A and B are shown apart, each in its own frame.
Chain A
Amino acid sequence: MRTARTLASAALALAASGCLTFVEVPVETPIRPKIDASPFSRVYVAGFLPSGSEDVDTNLETVRLLRSQLKNKGGMRIIEADVLPLADAAKPVPAESAPAAPPAAAQSDSGKTDTIAEAELPPYEKIFENKDYWKKVGEEFGSPLIITGSVVFVPHQRSGYVQKEQEVYDSFGRRSVVPVRTYMDRKGYILRPKFVFIDGRTGETLYTETFREEILYNAEQSTPALSSYFELMDRLLPSFLSTLSSQTIRGSRFLLK
């Protein structure tokens, strides 16, 4: 009897030690920033070429949002200067009228930057390659890292079948949720920002990144354009911030014995 008990306890101990061959530990994996911002003491979010919907001033809103995010979450020193009316500076001048062309004015009477049609954006975007222009901007602010680009924000609609969850009750009054496919008209927005990072000392482009996000709502739902804009920007901000500052991804792994 005694031997049997001893054997049983030994087997139990063995089984227990066999089961505990792994230990789950939390890990924090660092991902390095996409560009080295260490040579720059400050960052200047200059301005953006706005394109698409006129319901949101994407130049002003993007500058404000990125400045606050870089300051609060990126821990960077931000230059709080006026927003650059980039559409004015970037307006392409027709070749035949170039010598006598007056300074381009793309600003409306209300002070809000006029939006550029999406198809007309490429000639405006040539400004990002203009090293002299950006060097001059850099000199004005003490050679910071300049962040600029373009922001396309356009209304969008799509109809089709979507899967919804519907409550159903059986004959005993018991509730259950079942997936149901229904045809729906949906509308929303597409946000396509292009971020250009420029060396304020040389005017050279260091890095460019384009994102695309879209959101769709029930056609009967009325969602303000500005809310949609922030919702979409929220999705891509972590990736934007990881350009300049390192990110930590939290997870867990199994250590083995």
Chain B
Amino acid sequence: MPALKKLIALAVVGVAISATLAQAADRKAAVEQVSFGIDAAKAGLWREATYRWERAVELDPSYAAAFNNLAIAYEQAGQFEKAKQAYQKAAELDPKNTYIKQNIDLFKEINDRANRQNAR
């Protein structure tokens, strides 16, 4: 009986380790996508950047920076609703990040203006 318990415990630890390793691998791949996206955005290739950051959030849905960057890309494309959702997600994942907060404040100004125009 104790041997069975030991076996179960070992299995649980094994699963946890493999999950952590998989997560780390996903984060690594997501970081690569984010980095590539930044280079693309710096070169003005926002479509490419959007694609990269969309891949990044798929690979690692807990990656705040990827959501932040994706929100900026959506904003740049005039897709305000998508940008809002992505910013919200970024702020949820990293609520203390001042850069995300600053981006959100600037986005809000523009979004409010666009909403005022649509409401008129």
In the complex, chain A residues 147-205 whose Cβ is within 8 Å of any chain B Cβ? none
A96 at interface by CB-CB < 8 Å: no
Q: B72 contacts the other chain (Cβ, under 8 Å)?
A: yes
Chain B neighbourhood of A242, CB < 8 A: 117
Q: Is B108 an interface residue (CB 8 A)?
A: no
Chain B stretch 40-83: residues in CB contact (< 8 A) with chain A: 41-42, 64-65, 68-69, 72, 75-78
Q: Which residue of B lies closest to A239 (CB)?
A: B117
Write out the residue numbers on chain B whose beta carbons fall within 8 Å of the beta carbon of A253: 72, 75, 103, 106
Distance of A253 Cα from B99 Cα, bound (Å): 8
Shortest Cβ distance from A105 into chain B, in angstroms?
35
B34 beta carbon closer than 8 Å to chain A: yes
Q: How many residues of B contact A (CB 8 A)?
A: 27
Interface of A is mostly: strand
Judge whether A257 is part of the interface by a CB distance below 8 angstroms: yes
Known contacts A34-B117, A255-B69, A28 near B76 by CB under 8 Å: yes
> In chain A, what residue has the closest Cβ to B49?
A255
B91 within 8 A of A: no
Q: Can you list 10 A-B contacts with CB-CB less than 8 angstroms, sorted by A residue number?
A: A22-B99, A29-B75, A34-B117, A34-B120, A249-B113, A254-B103, A255-B69, A255-B72, A256-B97, A257-B35
User: A34-B120, A253-B106 are known contacts; what are 14 more A-B pairs with Cβ within 8 Å?
Assistant: A23-B42, A25-B42, A27-B72, A32-B78, A32-B117, A34-B118, A253-B75, A253-B103, A254-B103, A255-B38, A255-B41, A255-B72, A256-B69, A257-B38
B residues near A, CB below 8 A?
31, 34-35, 38, 41-42, 64-65, 68-69, 72, 75-78, 97, 99-100, 102-103, 106, 110, 113-114, 117-118, 120
